[in-house]
Each structure stands twice: as C-alpha cells, then as structure tokens.
Structure 1
Amino acid sequence: MAETITTDMVIHDVVTKYPATVKVFHGHGLPCTACAVGARESVAGGARTHRFPPEKLELLIKDLNAAANGEVTSITPKKAPVGRGVPLTMANGAPDRKIKQVIAIMSGKGGVGKSLVTGLLAVSLRRQGQQVGILDGDITGPSIARMFGTKGQPTKSANGGIEPLRSKGGIKVVSMNMFLEKESDPVVWRGPMISSAIKQFYSDVDWGNLDYLLVDLPPGTSDAPMTVMQALPLDGVVIVSSPQMLATMIVMKCINMVQQLKGSIVGVVENMSYFETPKGERYEIFGSSNGAELVGMTGAPLLGTLPIDSALTTLCDAGRVEEYYAEHYEELAANFTNTLRIKR
C-alpha cells in the first residue's frame, strides 16, 4: 500500500516517488510535472494556479492515490493537440520523416530573448547527444549565425539541396546572414518573400536526420509566425517572455494566435527573470515573475526562469555560445524533453 498522497505534498516529490502519477496530473490539465514551478509547489498550489474548484482538486487527489496503488483512475490522460494550422502541402507529419520534432520558439514581443533561448536550448540538447538543427526564421534580423560563430556560405549538398553550416559542437544552422555579402546588409523584403524564404529554409535545406529542428521566429503575429504555423509540420511551440507586464501583455497575443491556429504549446520560458550577484543576492530588475499567470493561460508548464548573465552576453557576441554552461539551461532542456515525452 502506497503512502497516502495529500494536497500539501510537493508535486515533484509525488511524481518522483510514484511515476504513474505523471499521466494523472496531465490528464487533469496540470502540466506541473515538467515545470520549474513543480519542484517547489504543492499539489494544492498547482491546483490554485490552474483555478481548480474544490471538487476537482478532490478528484485529482483520489486519482493520484489510485495511480500510486496501481488502480484504475477516473480519467484518460489527455494528449495535447498537434498544431498544423491550415493544411498546406509542406505540412507532412509522416512518422518516418527525417526530422523527428519541429519546434518553434515564439514570443510576439521583441527583445525578450527568443534567439538566446533557441541557441542555448540547442546547445543543451546537443550535450545530451541529440542531433539538433536551428532554422533562423528571423529573415530581416537574424542573429543565430553570429551567436554560433558560423561563417561562410552554405554549399550544395550531395542530394542537390543546401548544405547547412555546422557549429563547433555539431549543430546544423541556416540563417539569412549566410547568404548576404556582408552581415550588416539589410534584407528589405515584403511579407510574401519572407514567407517564401522560411519555407525554402525548411524544404530546400538538406537537414538530414535530426532529433530536433528549432525554428527561431521574429516577434509579432504576422507573416513569419503564420508561415511556420501553417506550412511546416510543427510539433509544438515554446513561448518566451520576461517579467515586465508590458512584455507579458504582448506575449499573450502570441499565445492567443497559437491557440487560434490549434497549435500545441510545449511550455513557457521566462527570460531575464532576475540578476544574481557574486554573493548570491537576487534582484528582480524587471519586476516579479509572471510565470504562473502564463502557465494558467496556456495550460503548459513553466520550463524555466532564466537569469541575466553578462558572461553569456560576452560569449554570444564572440560567437562562442556553446562554451556557456549553467544549471538553469540544463534544467530548461530537461523539462523540455520531459514534456515532449509526456505529450507523446
């Protein structure tokens, strides 16, 4: 007989001791098992965040105890919908495709760190031994190539496609800057040309076999994000925000867009959440965290709260982002892969 699970127990402790409860949490609409908040939040706290009425919390506890004892629960674990948007010819989600997971990194708001999260998530996944590629979908303001120090122009592959450049760590990268004579040259294009370029970066590039293709998107809810949502076989979206209320307001527009197009939100990342001094003192420069609010709105886990780090800025400017290591980003990657595993 398992120990009785109660509302005051920490979610992380429950799922660690009783792995069968993971699907129960998700079946009841609580993604906290792969959430940074779940490491310290109680079952009751998670229920409050997701606005559970008392009777729903009572049923959750009943099902958790049933699962822990190997008994039948009242729910069938829910699978998150996979967003295809408007079905176009490129949106082929065949099980034998070479790219196993296509994940878009979005925000709606500029300057919150989408490219940074994309880059460091790719680095952490690569350290796990995964085959990773990055499609820089920010056609007019690309930064991924500079961040990874990839220089030169892509060549023709043996299959007749475009051969992506590789970073020092083996991450495949395609970015608009690679096709410009000088990286400071502007790309003065209208929406249809931008959309066409993104589709070509997916279909004409010889990505080979990948575990993850991360698509770094520009801010907004217009041409580029719509193209990715509608024309690529997208498996999920990671939403990036910052604590500032103004940023959160704009990010909510992005969340609503993904939901309108029937997309699947893998999780939320709060960047620039705080600054930590060498003495361990924390300062919330942009205000208190809004992570719980975004979790409540999306029904997706908070994958990580990331600090401001000047050392990271220096490495990105020097094209050496792969040299950076921090527990926060390893935790982000672990939560990310755990969430995808549960959704399957």
Structure 2
Amino acid sequence: MSLSDRVRQAVAAVTDPELRRPIGDLDMVRDISVDDGHAHVGIVLTIVGCPAAAHIESDVRRAAASVPEVTDVTVEVGVMTPAERKALTEKLRDGRPPRQMPFGADSLTRVILVSSGKGGVGKSTITANLAAALAAKGLAVGLIDADVHGFSIPGLLGIPTGTQPTRIDDLMLPPVAHGVKTISIGMFLRDGEAVVAWRGPMLHRTVQQFLTDVFFGDLDVLLIDMPPGTGDIAISVGQILPHAEVIVVTTPQGAASDVAIRSGLVARQTGQHVIGVVENMAAFTLPDGTVVDLFGSGGGAEVAAALSQPDEGDEVPLLASVPLSAALRVGGDAGVPIVLSDPEDAAAQSIIQLADRLSHRTRGLSGRSLPISLSRTAASES
C-alpha cells in the first residue's frame, strides 16, 4: 500500500462528531497526496459554517500525522455541493423516504417515554441522568424533550443556550452532550423566550418533526421526556408511538402518586406498555444514620401496585427509589449529570442501577420481519 493510500485510510477512519460515522463512509474525503513526507489532505464539510469544522480538521490532521513517514500535514477544507449533500442525506436515511419516522413498531430501537402525573417530581432530572448513564454503558442514546412548554433538558445536560441542530438540507443533526443526542424546542428559542398559545395541532406537529426530521442514526434507546399530565402531547405521542414503553415517575407523596397513576392508565389506553415506576425524592440518610422521609413513603410502590394487572400477567415493578439528594440538584443546575460527576452518591447509584436494569432489556426480533431477501439459489441450498 502506498504512503498516500495509508494516509487516506487513516483519514477516512476519522469520526464526524455530529453524525458519529467515519468521514470516509460519508464521502467527505477528497484528494490526498504525499510529497517528500508532506501530506496534502482534502476534505469537504456538509455545510458552510459547520459547527464541528475545527474538530474534524484537527482530527484529520492528527490522523494523517500519525502515519509513519509523514512529516507535515496540510488540510484543505471545502464544502459539499448541493448534489453531494442530497446524496449524503439519502445515504443517512438508508432508503427511507423523507418525513418517514424511523422508530416504528419494526425498529430495533427501544422507545421509552418518561412520564409523570404532575410537575415538580423531578421527571426531567431522572430522564437526563438516565440518558447519560445509559450512554456511559456504551449504548447509543437519543433524547427528545417533548415538554414543549416546560423544556429543561438542554440545561440539565449542559447544552449552551443558543445551540441549534446542524441542518443538512431537510435533516437536523441533534447536538450531543455526554454521549446523548438531544433535541428540544428550547434550542430554537432565544434566551428567556417562552412557547405560548400552542395547542394540539402545533404540539402534535412539533413532536412529529422531532421524530421524522431529526437524524439520530442507529440508536439502542430513544428516551422521550414527556410533559407532566395527560394533555395534548401525551395523546399525540400515544397515536404516533403506540408501541412505546413507559416509565412513570412519582414522589412518595400521596398527592403525586394519585395523579401518577392516571398518567400510566392513559398511556396504557393508547396501547403503550408501562414497564415500571421510578420513585424520586425518596427517604435519605443523614451522616448520623437518621433516615428522613421528607415527602413521606410508599408512593412509588402504590403506583406500581395500582398499575399492575396480575390477572393478565402484567406486573408493573418499582424500578428504582431515588433518594432526595442535594448533589442531584447541583448537578442539574450545572448541566453535569450526577451519574457522571458523582457516581458514588446514593441518588446516582440508584439511577445507575436503573440504567443497568434497562440496558439488559432489549427489543427482540420475535414476530418482526427483517429486511433480508434470499436469492432463489441460496434459498434452494438452505
């Protein structure tokens, strides 16, 4: 293999930080030559002003310089033509037509909605930390902030205000934080701006666009942070994703657990499967061993029992009881999930165990058709 071919091989393996695929597979590598050890490398970016431009150029330079006998590197950066971008978006869709949702019943991606009966129970905090914990285990994780009126996921994950998805024609590439590909209506608003006067049709369209126009790539898990209650978005998501799984978040307090039950029942009415309950703000232990149950006790277990249908073999477990934690709150304010910043904290441990429990449950292939066809000859030989 020639020196220029070895440089091309090294450069082609560089990963695009937004698309999470090698730039060689994305047809972003152009002419490469080596003259007396000086490598000249040409690459193209997807769009003008690509936010990952400096990252990609630095990685390409480093990859080329790592090849033995290369003494210097010059990287020339261009931009894809409209035709090249169109070819790229078609490749990313993997044959799917535009505006088609990739998370249907035949998808291998687990879709998990995180819901609650009321606000203030820490649902979004649990969702953000769960997403980060799953990503830390090596899973490909996407997160949709469907709480349009009360979005908080970007802040909880430390995504800077003003960060927007990169657009490649009609595809949006979600920002990545702590290994989690994330989209939220908050990314399209100015700092301090609120979403007002949005009703059913607009909310439905927003959620649908997040599911169809955002390119998440191949995911193991897609988490959706639902708005509290059983309003328009809960109904819309139930219609779009009737096969989704649901985790209900509550606090131990009776007032929260009562309405949390309704949230689970509405999800079940749309055909979704309630896979468990997470109790947040549970009792915590002081350094002297005193146990403090500030919000009471037993609410999570009550919700799980109320949503269980033992006669139909559908037991809804209490998946986790997350103790009240000041560090959990501090991490949320700082945009650094506690499961990463302080994994030994009791709340972090509970969420990490929840992630471990969920990561061992994957969507099976049973009952689903696979996009594989055998030739007549191969079929006859089998």
Match for 1:223: what amino acid?
D
Residue 266 of structure 1 contacts residue 336 of structure 1 at CA under 8 Å; is this kept in 2? no
1:285 correspondence with 2:302 = no
Higher RCO, 1 or 2 (CA under 8 Å, sep at least 6)?
Answer: 1
Residue 105 of structure 1 contacts residue 215 of structure 1 at CA under 8 Å; is this kept in 2? yes
Matched residue, 2:217: 208
Matched residue, 1:251: 260
After TM superposition, give the deviation of residue 314 of structure 1 in Å: 1.1
SS at match of 1:227: helix
Moved more, 268-277 or 333-342: 333-342
Residue 136 of structure 1 contacts residue 176 of structure 1 at CA under 8 Å; is this kept in 2? yes
Residue 242 of structure 2 contacts residue 272 of structure 2 at CA under 8 Å; is this kept in 1? no
Matched residue, 2:16: none
After TM superposition, give the deviation of residue 161 of structure 1 in Å: 0.4
TM-score (norm 1): 0.68
Residue 92 of structure 1 contacts residue 233 of structure 1 at CA under 8 Å; is this kept in 2? no
How do residues 124-203 of structure 1 correspond to structure 2 at under 5 angstroms? 124-151=133-160, 152-157=163-168, 160-167=170-177, 169-182=178-191, 184-188=192-196, 189-203=198-212
After TM superposition, give the deviation of residue 221 of structure 1 in Å: 0.6
Deviations 1:164-195 (A, max 9, x none): 0011x22101011110121x101012222112
Matched residue, 1:236: 245
In 1, the alpha carbon distance for the partners of 2:230 and 2:268 equals 12
Matched residue, 1:330: 352
SS at match of 1:125: helix
In 1, the alpha carbon distance for the partners of 2:218 and 2:101 equals 17
Residue 266 of structure 1 contacts residue 340 of structure 1 at CA under 8 Å; is this kept in 2? no
In 1, the alpha carbon distance for the partners of 2:270 and 2:319 equals 22
Moved more, 288-297 or 116-125: 288-297
In 1, the alpha carbon distance for the partners of 2:292 and 2:103 equals 46
Larger radius of gyration: 2
Match for 1:232: what amino acid?
L
Structure with the higher fraction of residues in helix conformation? 1
1:112 correspondence with 2:121 = yes
In 1, the alpha carbon distance for the partners of 2:364 and 2:282 equals 26
Residue 110 of structure 2 contacts residue 362 of structure 2 at CA under 8 Å; is this kept in 1? no
In 1, the alpha carbon distance for the partners of 2:329 and 2:154 equals 15
User: Residues 161 and 329 of structure 1: is their aligned pair in 2 closer, same or farther, counting only changes over 3 Å?
Assistant: same
Residue 110 of structure 2 contacts residue 363 of structure 2 at CA under 8 Å; is this kept in 1? no
1:305 correspondence with 2:314 = no
In 2, the alpha carbon distance for the partners of 1:342 and 1:335 equals 16
In 1, the alpha carbon distance for the partners of 2:359 and 2:233 equals 25
User: Residues 171 and 111 of structure 1: is their aligned pair in 2 closer, same or farther, counting only changes over 3 Å?
Assistant: same
After TM superposition, give the deviation of residue 140 of structure 1 in Å: 1.1
Number of equivalenced pairs:
251
In 2, the alpha carbon distance for the partners of 1:308 and 1:114 equals 13
After TM superposition, give the deviation of residue 278 of structure 1 in Å: 2.7
Moved more, 319-328 or 238-247: 319-328
Residue 267 of structure 1 contacts residue 301 of structure 1 at CA under 8 Å; is this kept in 2? yes
1:93 correspondence with 2:111 = no
Q: Which runs of 5+ in 2 are unaligned?
A: 1-99, 308-314, 367-382
SS at match of 1:135: strand
In 2, the alpha carbon distance for the partners of 1:330 and 1:267 equals 16
After TM superposition, give the deviation of residue 339 of structure 1 in Å: 5.0
Deviations 1:254-305 (A, max 9, x none): 1221222221011110001112223342211111222332222222111100
**RMSD over equivalenced CA pairs, Å:** 2.2
SS at match of 1:111: coil
User: Residues 324 and 200 of structure 1: is their aligned pair in 2 closer, same or farther, counting only changes over 3 Å?
Assistant: farther
Residue 103 of structure 1 contacts residue 234 of structure 1 at CA under 8 Å; is this kept in 2? no
SS at match of 1:271: strand
Match for 1:161: what amino acid?
L
Deviations 1:119-148 (A, max 9, x none): 111111111100101100001111000011
Residue 199 of structure 2 contacts residue 232 of structure 2 at CA under 8 Å; is this kept in 1? no
Residue 103 of structure 2 contacts residue 109 of structure 2 at CA under 8 Å; is this kept in 1? no
Match for 1:332: what amino acid?
L
Residue 243 of structure 1 contacts residue 286 of structure 1 at CA under 8 Å; is this kept in 2? yes
TM-score (norm 2): 0.62
Residue 132 of structure 2 contacts residue 179 of structure 2 at CA under 8 Å; is this kept in 1? no
Matched residue, 2:370: none
Residue 199 of structure 1 contacts residue 232 of structure 1 at CA under 8 Å; is this kept in 2? no
Matched residue, 1:102: 111
User: Residues 160 and 341 of structure 1: is their aligned pair in 2 closer, same or farther, counting only changes over 3 Å?
Assistant: closer
Deviations 1:187-242 (A, max 9, x none): 01222211211111111101111101100011111111111111136430001011
Residue 268 of structure 1 contacts residue 302 of structure 1 at CA under 8 Å; is this kept in 2? yes
1:217 correspondence with 2:226 = yes
After TM superposition, give the deviation of residue 331 of structure 1 in Å: 1.2
User: Residues 93 and 233 of structure 1: is their aligned pair in 2 closer, same or farther, counting only changes over 3 Å?
Assistant: farther
In 2, the alpha carbon distance for the partners of 1:256 and 1:234 equals 15
